[in-house]
Structure 1
Amino acid sequence: MSHRPRVRAPELAGRGWLNTDGPLTLSNLRGRFLLLDFWTFCCVNCLHVLDELRPLEAAYAEELVVVGVHSPKFAHEADPDALAAAVERYGVHHPVLDDPELVTWQAYTARAWPTLVLVDPEGYVVAQYAGEGHAHAIEALLADLVPEHRERGTLQPAGSPYVAPVVEPTDLRFPAKAVALPDGHLLVADAGHDEVVELDAEGAVVRRTGGFREPNGLCLLPPGVAAEVGYDVVVADTVGHRLAGLELATGAVRTLAGDGHQWMSGDGTARLSSPWDVTWWRERVWVAMAGIHQLWTLDPRTGVVEVAAGTANEGLLDGPAGEAWFAQTSGLAPDGDRLWLADSETSSLRWIGADGSVGTAVGSGLFDFGFRDGPADQALLQHPLGVTVLGDGSVAVCDTYNGAVRRFDPATATLTTLATGLAEPSGAVLDPADPGVLVVVESAAHRLARVPLGAVATVDGFAHSTQRPVTDVAAELELVVTFEPPPGQKVDDRFGPPSQLVVESTPPGLLREGSGRGTALTRTLVLDPHAGDGVLHVAARAASCDADGGEGAACRMHQQDWGVPVRVVAGAPAELVLPLGGAG
């Protein structure tokens, strides 16, 4: 736990504001609590936090102002039009500060997406949390602090500065993926309308099926399996944290897995976390479980759900399925003995083989991306969300944040570009009427586009690394992850050690000592001063439970991953503090 000195909150500075009539300053907001949500719209953990905060915003509508501070990771996220679309897409109902240069991010010493900072009515920082799962802690703090400030006269409730944007109606709204039906129609996951929509060959709406929450992936079951289980399509109901079965003839929808609540550590497979895509491979439905960086499977005949690959650590690490690291896998496409994956946060095209081995075709890690054709070891993508296997065995990649469709040829291990100028393409399917055409889901344009497979586009190309401040550190470094249970809770050690810390590095040689997994939230690291700049990958979690205990006690898991760019410098600080959560 880190006890902060009583410090003034820095001013809010950036390029501009969304969802409000004008610039907001700390003096505008004086007299109310201010919760700053540092987020970036590529990050599924940030999207989880948006949903976590909604009940809190409603409960303290007069006493609390939430302000999203958008601090982009990818180049595309710094585009103001892309940010405006994302604010609408994800239903952000509070003011958003556009901070493309990370000015406010640095002023508040944020180190991770997401980070939450609570400021009191007098303008002092009172708490900081990294990661998701902290809404209950902030609610507990407010339950203590609101009466205190009301009694002191420093709390002055007022209306919200939120102003809703104008939205033009469209048939599709932020569609995500599409599959072809046997009759030549297309089925589209219409995430912005919370529907699955059937379109005829001319693109006209045939029917809409509701009851979803931002569905993204669709899997058409083989006819024999569909007849056996009584539904035709598996839907990845992303924000609903479930897999749903859709019967095309009747429009009936049933829940196959998940209970609508987000998976947290210790939940087993009873709950899911943002399933993003689904496909049929090796007699199972494979699930891109983007929220926890894993691949799962569902056997529709038995209903059994299992983890198939990934440790839940975020990153790019190949090897056996049980040891591999993924990063927000968002697209799946089967091809014989290989399942192709679009691993969005590492801007990579990857695969898992029938033997369970995981490999990478294009991409190198969490912070490197770009737009470059050529040999696989030099080619670059930017946050791809979709993959489609083509008739010749090559793979079309919806290179979402580059606005392009790329083509990877496994035979030559080269990447080329089919089309550019698309608005966040997120999925694609071969045209049922013309196998020489790819129907691309152009998500941010709210439509489907057709791309000839014979097309070739020339790109100027660029390479980029996520630009975040590099932290100078000593070669022998004490890593401290701070955590304090929320008010009314205590550390939960009933079932063993209440915390876990995993530390790795890129490059691996940066860490001479201190890598691996342990239960203490402090660790001594020895870094190689000759390894150059690198990134410390830190994953921490801690459990807390109601202090009173007893039957029905509420228990919580607090967790976060950090990627901290570091540089070993003689005389630099010998301690690195990362706040998992706590009041200051």
Structure 2
Amino acid sequence: MEWLNTKGPVELKDLKGKFVLLDFWTYCCINCMHILPELKELEHDYANQLVVIGVHSAKFENEKDAKNIEEAILRYEIEHPVVNDNNLKIWNNYSVSSWPTMYLIDPEGNVVYLRRGEFLADDIRGILDGAIPYYRANGSLDEKPIQFDLLAYSQKPTPLRFPGKILADEKSGRLFIADSNHNRIVISSLDGELQEVIGTGEIGAADGAYSEAQFDHPQGMALVQDTLYVADTENHLLRKINLADKKVETIAGVGRQGSSNETWPGMGENASLDNLPPRFIGTPKTTAINSPWALWPHGDSLYIAMAGPHQIWKMKLDESEIGPYAGNGREDIVDGPLLPAIPYQQGFSSFAQPSGLTSDGKTLFVADSEGSSIREVPFNPRGSVGTLVGTSKLSSARLFTFGDIDGTARRAKLQHALGVCYVDGIIYTADTYNNKIKSIDAKTGFVKTIAGTGKPGTADDPAQFDEPAGLTHAGGKLYIADTNNHLIRVLDLKTNQVSTLTINGLEPLPVKQRPEAPAEAVQK
């Protein structure tokens, strides 16, 4: 097995005396992402008693590659060793059937706890707090600290760090970049001259002036006049930035992940209008939301790709209400009416981790990443969700059918596409795990690769990308957030030539430094 984020292989027998938490995960999975902060909290609180091991059991073909897993380890700032279970050997030995799954092994080598799905640190804390005194008393608990040789300790500073989404405004000549792992928003001119940096770079949720504000791995953005809306993804918040006053303000969310029974807030007064299905709405600042990933303004509303509950949400721009707009909450690729009367009701539309939004003014196009599909959502609430390219017509395996095939909508396949951008009848997509940019005819669904060899890299000719995630358009050019390359790329739609944009004046932020280990610490 390939071991990552540590000097070498880690064997369970060498961890006797520790609690060992095996986390079966795959890096595309939003539920797996949700528990990573919980694992980090446990690792810090029980540094001398608990060792977490990530067992990366890939879903997508691209996720089997060790280099791609290393990038995910860095992007998610993981602080424990990870084993590449690319052939699902450990997965099968432990009879795992879904992501995430965790096993807790006690200091004597016995599996004592199994948990499928998401959990909170406090769920495991209760078990550890009850058990540690017992193992400490019988002498089987080893409380020597262990320090792992993390990938983060060998990284070089870069001006951008895993940029996720990008937004161009041709009218003002500005480019807005979600510098996700620097926890800030960068504004430059379209030719790369730095204008503003919004955020301190430290993880947090502080409002205020640009130099005081904080974010936590922001993603999608939307511009309405002088207001920039930001999906503050890992804070589970929506923020707005007054570009004239240079102030950041929180407008939706409560600062923690909304649970499944909170993703359908109380019914609004408009529930019976014209026999529409009731729409559940809440007040934005008191409604818990869940991993907002992309934003799109239309009319008097802001549409939100809410990756966590697998839905499209809508918030009034006057900030009077927020709630689901499409999707029954089941993770799937299913077409049908927008929204059921009750959560999870079948016969209605289903999404699978929606992560990108664009529009032609009539239809909202969605990059539905876990189903490798491009969906169509009408702005008419009486309409139905459709699929332009993807798996909705399959009778099974809709979340497990993917590939790298151009051609007709029936034949074409994508692999975990995260970004979409509509321009003159064409939907350009960041086909993320294929490391390509593709065009999709918005009427026929015909797919064509326009840039990218498929192999990760930074070359401009022939163009290479490394898990690009965001797209935007201005002046006949596509601007691309080339996430794992920490770069912004530019694709000229007339010549199909790719170039790399330098943000002049943007300074790198410091990288994680290796801490000094206690004298008795075991190095791994």
* TM-score scaled by length of structure 2: 0.80
Question: Aligned match of 1:335 in 357, 360, 381?
Answer: 360
Report the equivalent of 1:418.
450
**Structure 2 CA distance for aligned equivalents of residues 393 and 261 of structure 1:** 39
Question: Aligned match of 1:129 in 106, 109, 115?
Answer: 115
Question: Aligned match of 1:406 in 424, 438, 446?
Answer: 438
Q: Deviations over 1:370-395 (max 9, x none)?
A: 000111011000000010001x2110
SS of the equivalent of 2:234 reads: coil
Report the equivalent of 2:426.
394
* Bigger shift: residues 399-408 or 173-182: 173-182
Residues 520-535 of structure 1: matches in 2 within 5 Å? none
Q: Does 1:149 align with 2:138?
A: no
**Structure 2 CA distance for aligned equivalents of residues 86 and 455 of structure 1:** 33
Q: 1:451 to 1:51 in 2, by over 3 A?
A: same
Residues 41-440 of structure 1: matches in 2 within 5 Å? 41-165=27-151, 166-181=154-169, 182-210=171-199, 211-221=214-224, 223=225, 226=226, 232-267=227-262, 268=265, 269=282, 270-322=287-339, 323-355=348-380, 356-364=383-391, 365-390=398-423, 392-420=424-452, 421-431=464-474, 434-435=475-476, 437-440=477-480
Q: Deviations over 1:492-542 (max 9, x none)?
A: xxxxxxxxxxxxxxxxxxxxxxxxxxxxxxxxxxxxxxxxxxxxxxxxxxx
SS of the equivalent of 2:246 reads: coil
Check the 8 A contact 2:168/2:190 in 1, yes or no: no
1:456 CA displacement? 7.0
Check the 8 A contact 1:284/1:300 in 2, yes or no: yes
Check the 8 A contact 1:362/1:377 in 2, yes or no: yes
1:122 CA displacement? 1.0
Unaligned runs of 5+ in 1: 1-13, 227-231, 458-584
**Structure 1 CA distance for aligned equivalents of residues 371 and 443 of structure 2:** 23
SS of the equivalent of 2:410 reads: coil
1:200 CA displacement? 2.2
Check the 8 A contact 2:168/2:479 in 1, yes or no: no
Question: Aligned match of 1:446 in 486, 490, 494?
Answer: 486
Aligned residues: 431
Higher fraction of strand: 1
Unaligned runs of 5+ in 2: 200-213, 266-281, 340-347, 392-397, 453-463, 498-524
1:183 CA displacement? 2.2
Q: 1:455 to 1:293 in 2, by over 3 A?
A: farther
Give the percent of matched residue pairs that are identical in Structure 1 and Structure 2: 40
Residues 464-543 of structure 1: matches in 2 within 5 Å? none
Check the 8 A contact 1:312/1:326 in 2, yes or no: yes
- Alignment root-mean-square deviation, CA: 1.5
Q: Deviations over 1:416-440 (max 9, x none)?
A: 1111131111111113xx31x2111
Report the equivalent of 1:32.
18
SS of the equivalent of 1:249 reads: coil
Amino acid at match of 1:168: K
SS of the equivalent of 1:198 reads: strand
Report the equivalent of 2:205.
none
Amino acid at match of 1:404: K
Q: Deviations over 1:344-391 (max 9, x none)?
A: 00000111113331000111120000000111011000000010001x
1:454 CA displacement? 4.1
SS of the equivalent of 1:215 reads: coil
1:337 CA displacement? 1.3
SS of the equivalent of 2:90 reads: helix
1:445 CA displacement? 0.6
**Structure 2 CA distance for aligned equivalents of residues 394 and 202 of structure 1:** 24
**Structure 2 CA distance for aligned equivalents of residues 115 and 295 of structure 1:** 26
SS of the equivalent of 1:279 reads: strand
SS of the equivalent of 2:177 reads: strand
**Structure 2 CA distance for aligned equivalents of residues 133 and 183 of structure 1:** 45
Q: 1:302 to 1:276 in 2, by over 3 A?
A: closer
**Structure 1 CA distance for aligned equivalents of residues 376 and 444 of structure 2:** 16
Amino acid at match of 2:103: V
Check the 8 A contact 1:281/1:339 in 2, yes or no: no
Check the 8 A contact 1:179/1:187 in 2, yes or no: yes
**Structure 2 CA distance for aligned equivalents of residues 83 and 41 of structure 1:** 7
**Structure 2 CA distance for aligned equivalents of residues 152 and 171 of structure 1:** 52
Amino acid at match of 1:453: L
Q: Deviations over 1:80-124 (max 9, x none)?
A: 111111100001011111111111111111111101110001111
